[in-house]
Structure 1
Amino acid sequence: MPSAVKLGNNRHLLAVRDALIGMIAITMIGSFAVLLNNLGSIIKPYGRMMEAIFGPSWTTLGGDIWWATFAFMTIFAVFGISHKLAKSYGDDGFEAMLIAAACFFIFVPQIGKVPETEGAWGFIHFGYFNSTSLFTGIIVALLATEVFIRFTRVKAFRIKLPDGVPPAVSGAFAKLIPGIFTILTFGIIGLLFRMFSDGDPLNDWLNTVLVSPLTNAVDTPFFAVLIVFLVHVFWAVGLHGTNILGGITTPLFTSTGTKNTDLYAAGVTELDQYAVLAGPFLDAFVYLGGAGATLGLIIAMFLTARRRHKQLLALGTPPGVFQINEPILFGLPIVLNPIWLIPFILAPVIMTIVAYSAISLGLVHPVVTASIPWVTPAGIGGYLATGGHISGAVLAIVNLAISILVYLPFVYFNGKAEDKKSEDKN
């Protein structure tokens, strides 16, 4: 538990997780814009209606929103991560996020790298700003902020202005030299990197040696099951497993989710091009009712007419429908309960294997939205996550049925044990 708490409280993982979660408004509106644009090809009457009302270019609005959100995902992340990390050190974070952004831009190639603009100065492909560069942005934001914060703590670097100077001005000048030194440091690093990498941009190099192998390792059944297993083991002892591992899983799932969204926006129909473990995969197909897929437990209790838990069901069912299950976790309780922990861990693991297999075999459309509200009810979440494909809703309902079947025998035998205990007391 101390190790888990330490991991969950790591300031760098928290900065990454909180920044990416804080971008949910951006990712959600971008996802829905792509969804609405592509629904026209799935639901033909809808497409014809939109074209009749707004003309042949009715998808321009969705395209503009995608461009304003997903095309600049890494830039938003750099600002957010640097701001969150600087705040954790007691800094106001404003200058830090500007300096971090400048350091990131140092590593963006100034010469066109795609055939249309190759060799031309000033043509930057959006691939250096979107989710393709997300890991580069995360690394640079963390390192640049750390360097900047440490420079600000060197008294010799602080310029102190007279007391009559407005605080905003004196504060900016106090961080002037640390900011210059930070940008200069990363400028030298960028220069040396280009010298020793034959001019390759940092992002291209990282994608080759780190991101691609890591993404390939992440998008596997083993990793999916491992993450789900660890999340629920943490919950078993009362720790918020989703949050503890969020600093690791959030950037990974955000990266694969936004890549899927970009492919979907571009009209890519080859399903094998999409990642399986992406975006809201777990929220849509595994965490039905919350961690442990406890909506299945609630339904199993209703099916067995467990009157003993009538009050608990009355309190836990409405939030459970919207993926909030603390009343069940701590009210039944499931946490630190060796009997209930068996189905609590087993059901999500089985559901993960089923969902991953169904998508990888092409039976269900891949997840193509970077995010959905985590409180979206079961079935609806699967439909939205897969870009409006009914197969996503069907998979979520099938997984819900699996969770009910896993919980049913435990509900039944637990009820028998409680009845026997009551008889013994009487």
Structure 2
Amino acid sequence: MNFVDKFIMPFANKLGSNRHLLAIRDALVGMIAITMIGSLSVLVTNLGAVPGVGKYYEKFMISIFGETWKTLGSDIWWGTLAFMTIFAVFGIANRLARSYGDDGFEAMLVSAASFFVLIPQVANVSLTPEGGEAVTGGAWGFISWNYFNSTALFTGIIVALVATEIFVRLAKVKFLIIKLPDGVPPAVSRSFAKLLPGMVTIFTVGLFGLLLRKFISDGAYLNDWLNKVLVSPLTGAVDTLAFAILIVFLVHCFWILGLHGPNILGGITTPLMTKLGQDNINMYAQGVDNLSKYHVLSGSFLDAFVYLGGSGATLGLIIAMFIAGRKRYKQLLALGTPPGIFQINEPILFGLPIVLNPIWFIPFILSPIIMTIVAYSSISLGLVHPVVADIPWVTPAIVGGLLATGGHVSGAILAAVNLVISIVIYLPFVFVTGRIDARKAEKKPLA
């Protein structure tokens, strides 16, 4: 415990309270309504691709809504997931600025403008005149949607953080603040007070983009250059079994110490897995059938197949206690089972307790690691359909596996198999704790 207090706790607290990681996490979590409705629209639109029942589903939808029934889902996807990076830039800038005591409004606008400054203004387009041959060339004013969706998410995060930092710091420089007379409306006065800091921030970002293209990236814009030198290699490293095991191990080590592991690491893991998840959703929306092109560790992978009942897969522990007939924990099970079904397990973590309880260290960490290995291997081998939809983290086990894989039964089966694995791992420890409690009761003096 002295080692933990001296070395681990300070690092965990520092990481968990970092304002930049918190801004990223809070912004992406705050976008959950956007990502959920976009993901569900993709799911509903593409259920026709599910083998066996897909054709009946499409006939049913056509009979009710007509041949154009997919239009609504496509419109919702376009208005949500297709512009995910833009929403992230606004959200991150707002959260980061507010952490410095700023109201965040001007920071949002300045960061968004800075992001647009770094987007190419010319795109290659192909036009086919009536009766003529196709003509391909550069045209001004055309912007690929890849600069707005999850493909540019890392660029958006970086630009939002840097632009907000520059803006907030310049806004504190006295000689850059324009003060208007007292009779001017407060909203106008605040805007003019931050006029020069905003202009300088946008100019600085624009100058950086110009110098980058001229001297470093060989003409490539920031997003294209980052994808080449950073995002692609990093994404490849993230979507590996080793990285999945590492994340799950660290999350549960933090929980053992009473620290909220997903929150502490969320600033790092959320943007990575969100990007991979949106890549899968986009491919699924475009009808990509080659499963090998999909990412494995993406989006709701952990919620659907590993965190069954919450971190530590404690739904398996609850079921194991019912199987063992642990009457001593009757009240705890009564309180912990309903929320546990919906992936909320704080009553079990702190009521049993699992936190700082050496008896439960091994199953609490071992269960999710084995489940991660089974889930990752099953998807990578093509036995289970990849995750192609975002699901709320409170979605019950097995149902989450079904929905996350786009309605494929293989996802539900995998979640059920992992749930059984967690029960088998927890069950011996439930019996062990029962024996320990019985021995303590035998040694207890009579009143």
Q: Confirm or deny a common fold (TM above 0.5).
A: yes
- Report the CA distance shift for 1:115/1:335 in structure 2 as closer, same or farther (over 3 A): farther
- Report the CA distance shift for 1:359/1:277 in structure 2 as closer, same or farther (over 3 A): same
Instruction: Tell me, in whole angstroms, the C-alpha distance in 1 between the residues paired with 2:90 and 2:411.
Output: 34
**1:102-146 C-alpha deviation (Å, 9 max, x unpaired):** 000111000104666641000101011100000000000000000
Instruction: Tell me, in whole angstroms, the C-alpha distance in 1 between the residues paired with 2:209 and 2:90.
Output: 20
**Amino acid of the structure 1 residue aligned with 2:183:** G
Instruction: Tell me, in whole angstroms, the C-alpha distance in 1 between the residues paired with 2:85 and 2:124.
Output: 18
How do 1:385-396 residues align onto structure 2 when only pairs under 5 Å count?
A: 385-396=404-415
- Report the CA distance shift for 1:305/1:68 in structure 2 as closer, same or farther (over 3 A): same
1:132 aligns with 2:140: no
Partner of 1:415: 434
How do 1:353-368 residues align onto structure 2 when only pairs under 5 Å count?
A: 353-368=373-388
- Give the C-alpha shift of residue 44 in structure 1: 2.2
Match of 2:247 among 206, 227, 236: 227
**Amino acid of the structure 2 residue aligned with 1:404:** I
CA contact (8 A) 2:62 2:69 kept: yes
1:91 aligns with 2:102: yes
Question: Any stretches of 5+ residues in structure 2 without a counterpart?
Answer: 1-8, 128-135
Match of 2:398 among 358, 373, 379: 379
Partner of 1:207: 227
- Give the C-alpha shift of residue 416 in structure 1: 1.1
- Give the C-alpha shift of residue 57 in structure 1: 1.6
Instruction: Tell me, in whole angstroms, the C-alpha distance in 2 between the residues paired with 1:101 and 1:18.
Output: 18
**Amino acid of the structure 2 residue aligned with 1:244:** I
How do 1:236-385 residues align onto structure 2 when only pairs under 5 Å count?
A: 236-369=256-389, 371-385=390-404
Partner of 1:108: 119
Instruction: Tell me, in whole angstroms, the C-alpha distance in 2 between the residues paired with 1:403 and 1:114.
Output: 53
- Give the C-alpha shift of residue 51 in structure 1: 1.0
Partner of 2:416: 397
- Report the CA distance shift for 1:118/1:277 in structure 2 as closer, same or farther (over 3 A): farther
Match of 1:80 among 91, 103, 108: 91
Instruction: Tell me, in whole angstroms, the C-alpha distance in 2 between the residues paired with 1:113 and 1:150.
Output: 39
Bigger drift between 352-361 and 115-124 goes to 115-124
- Give the C-alpha shift of residue 13 in structure 1: 0.3
**1:363-383 C-alpha deviation (Å, 9 max, x unpaired):** 0000001x2111100001111
Partner of 1:17: 25
Partner of 1:28: 36
Q: Kindly, what percent of the aligned residue pairs are identical?
A: 71
- Give the C-alpha shift of residue 215 in structure 1: 0.2
Match of 2:138 among 111, 116, 119: 119
Partner of 1:2: 10
CA contact (8 A) 2:151 2:279 kept: yes
CA contact (8 A) 1:41 1:47 kept: no
CA contact (8 A) 1:367 1:387 kept: yes
CA contact (8 A) 1:111 1:118 kept: no
Instruction: Tell me, in whole angstroms, the C-alpha distance in 2 between the residues paired with 1:364 and 1:192.
Output: 47
How many residues end up aligned between the 2 structures?
A: 425
Partner of 2:71: 60
CA contact (8 A) 1:75 1:129 kept: yes
- Report the CA distance shift for 1:6/1:48 in structure 2 as closer, same or farther (over 3 A): same
SS of residue matched to 1:92: coil
**Amino acid of the structure 2 residue aligned with 1:160:** K
- Give the C-alpha shift of residue 41 in structure 1: 3.0
- Give the C-alpha shift of residue 198 in structure 1: 2.6
**Amino acid of the structure 2 residue aligned with 1:13:** L
- Give the C-alpha shift of residue 423 in structure 1: 1.5
- Give the C-alpha shift of residue 270 in structure 1: 0.3
1:150 aligns with 2:172: no
**1:137-185 C-alpha deviation (Å, 9 max, x unpaired):** 0000000000000110100000001111110000000000000101111
- Report the CA distance shift for 1:114/1:312 in structure 2 as closer, same or farther (over 3 A): farther
**Amino acid of the structure 2 residue aligned with 1:102:** A
- Give the C-alpha shift of residue 56 in structure 1: 1.6
Question: Any stretches of 5+ residues in structure 1 without a counterpart?
Answer: none
SS of residue matched to 2:358: coil
Instruction: Tell me, in whole angstroms, the C-alpha distance in 2 between the residues paired with 1:194 and 1:39.
Output: 43
Instruction: Tell me, in whole angstroms, the C-alpha distance in 1 between the residues paired with 2:116 and 2:293.
Output: 29
- Report the CA distance shift for 1:113/1:146 in structure 2 as closer, same or farther (over 3 A): farther
SS of residue matched to 1:177: helix
Match of 2:181 among 141, 144, 162: 162
- Report the CA distance shift for 1:115/1:207 in structure 2 as closer, same or farther (over 3 A): farther
Partner of 1:51: 62
The root-mean-square deviation of aligned C-alpha atoms, in Å, is: 1.0
CA contact (8 A) 1:114 1:125 kept: no
